[in-house]
Amino acid sequence: MKTDKKSNEITAIPELLDSLDIKDTIVSVDALNCQTEIADKIVSKGGDYLFCVKVIKKNYTVELKKDLKNMSNVDKKQIRKL
């Protein structure tokens, strides 16, 4: 997929997702693309996602787990640290 000169990876991924049939597919992206818009786009098209989260500060993992536990649509069994 060719992108505009002023485009970047974060803006190009949603456009790429628009062009793909991802229903019943797991989409994996790197830490840079762990964006709400990208997650929403994947789910709205019937896909699932696997986001790898880069721990950038000391208590980030604790905060992330707390946030995920508060989400009603998250399968808690699927959240794990590798």
What's the mean pLDDT in 10-15?
86
- The reply to whether the predicted model has a pTM over 0.75 is no
Based on the structure, what is the number of domains in the chain?
1
DSSP-derived 3-state class of residue 24 = coil
State which residues form the domain around 46. Answer: 9-74
Examine the pLDDT at 76 and tell me if it is beyond 60.
no
DSSP-derived 3-state class of residue 1 = coil
For residues 62 and 37, which has the higher predicted lDDT (pLDDT)?
37
Q: Is residue 3 part of a domain?
A: no
Examine the pLDDT at 78 and tell me if it is beyond 60.
no
Q: Is residue 18 part of a domain?
A: yes
CA 3 → CA 14, 18, 26, distances in Å? 12, 14, 24
Q: Is residue 42 part of a domain?
A: yes
Q: Is residue 60 part of a domain?
A: yes
Q: Is residue 4 part of a domain?
A: no
Q: Is residue 55 part of a domain?
A: yes
